[in-house]
Every structure is written in structure tokens, then in C-alpha cells.
Structure 1
Amino acid sequence: MAEGRRTDTGQAEQVGGLSVVTTATDGVRVIAPAGEIDYHTGGQLSRALDVAGAERPRIVIDMRQVTFMDSTGINILIAAYQAVTEVGGWLRLAGPIDSVLRVLQLVGVDDIIECHPTLREALAA
């Protein structure tokens, strides 16, 4: 499969132990958090996932650089999934490291939100 068109929206924000970069690939918003998603940094990810006014948003969260995620992150993902699906869009996760994937599996998030081993697979699904 050929690489899709990627555009950098120039949106990057860093708070404490988390940075979030938002880009677009073939009309899909790709959100790439890096660092820890917890009570202190979760608001930043929530802002990146805001779909207010969006029509049928398509979002992939590239989880490859998330090193830690607590219940705050789980709640953010579930809320984002609900918001996106309510307006006819979809949300997918890509490439979580083993420790983060284990958290997603323990609470069943991977049963609700599609989780793919790579960004390429998440974009192509």
C-alpha cells in the first residue's frame, strides 16, 4: 500500500510529561501523544480529541510513544470514542507498547475501540 498524503497541522502542545502532535493523513486526524497520560496531563489529550463541530470525524491515536497511562487516560479514550461515534465518526488506536496495551486489555477498552499493532494498519482498516 502506498503511503497516504500527510499534512502537518502544526498543532503541538507539551504539558509536563506529555506532548501531543496532531497531523492529518488522507483526511484522518492522527493524534500522537508522547509521554505519560495521567491526571496532570490528560487535559491536553482531551483538547486534541475535541470533535465539537466536526462532521463524521475520523481519528487515529498513535500510541507508540505513550509510556504510561492511568485511569484518566482510559476515561479520556472512552469519552472521545463516545463523542466521535455519536456524530458518525470513528476512533482507532495504533501501536500501544506492551504495558499500555495490557492496561487497555485489563479494562476492556480494546473490545470497544479498535486497536491495531501499527499506525499503517489503523489508517488502512
Structure 2
Amino acid sequence: MAHTEQAGQPGRLSVRTDVVDGTLVVAASGEIDQQTGGTLREALEPPEGAAPRIVIDLRHVTFMDSSGINILIAVHTALAEAGGWLRLAGAATPVLRVIQLVGIDGFIECRPTVQQALES
């Protein structure tokens, strides 16, 4: 299992990545917005030779604006074109509400836990 961490400004966004059974798992913590989106986008680059599968753990994300939504859509599209998938896990109520309001839960699977996202 590989592991990397990227930290933005304190209280803004930190990202931890692991590879679990060939799937990139990205755990984000903090706020995803225009200023911090680059950190998330960089973390969502699958390692060379890895399967095009990503789970984003959103349990500790407290805010996400349209910048985050646009990143999720772009990553989903790129992975789908490569024969892979993107799944979201553990989104807290405020973030899940944004995901549901814009309708991306209609084409990106949302699961309560990372484990369920990896298994489904």
C-alpha cells in the first residue's frame, strides 16, 4: 500500500492518498474551493500503471463549492473514458447536499464508507 500526503494551508485542505488493491483512495480534509482545488486535482492523478479507479473519502471535508464539483466531474469523465470509475465515500451532510443538489450523485456513486465504495 503506497501512501503520500499533501498539506495545504492549515485549516484549508489536506489530502492523503493510499493505494488499496489497485484503487487509489484519496482522503481529503478541510475545504474544497477555488484556492484549494489544485491540491485535490493533483492528488487525483492515478499512479503510473494503476487501474483507473479512485475513491475519494469526503468524511472530513467541511465545504465544497463549484470548483470541487467541476473537479469531480472532470475526473469522473476521464476515468470513465479509460474504462475506470470514481466513487465518493462518507460525505458529511453539507457536502452531500451540494452533491445531490447539482445531481452528480446520479452518475458518480456515493457510498457511506470507503470500504463500501471499494467493494461495490
TM-score normalised by the shorter chain: which range applies?
A: over 0.9
Q: Deviations over 1:41-100 (max 9, x none)?
A: 000100111248656411100110111000000000000001111111111000000000
Aligned partners of 1:58, 1:107: CA distance in 2, in Å?
Answer: 23
Superposed, 1:7-26 pairs within 5 Å as 7=1, 9-16=2-9, 17-26=12-21
Partner residue in 1 for 2:64: 69
Say which of 94, 100, 123 aligns to 2:118. Answer: 123
Distance in 1 separating the partners of 2:106 and 2:46 = 22
Q: What does 1:25-64 align with in structure 2 at a 5 Å threshold?
A: 25-51=20-46, 54=49, 56-64=51-59
TM-score (normalizing by structure 2): 0.92
Q: Sequence identity of aligned pairs in percent? A: 54
| Distance in 2 separating the partners of 1:69 and 1:101 | 9
After the TM superposition, which parts of structure 1 deviate over 3 Å for at least 4 consecutive aligned residues? 51-56
| Secondary structure of 1:64's aligned partner | strand
Work out whether residues 56 and 84 of structure 1, in 8 Å CA contact, stay in contact via their aligned partners in 2: no
- List alignment gaps of at least 5 residues for structure 2: none
For normalisation by structure 1, the TM-score amounts to 0.89
Question: Counterpart in 1 of 2:92?
Answer: 97
**RMSD of the TM alignment (CA)?**
1.4
Unmatched 5+ stretches in structure 1: 1-6
Instruction: Count the aligned residue pairs.
Output: 118
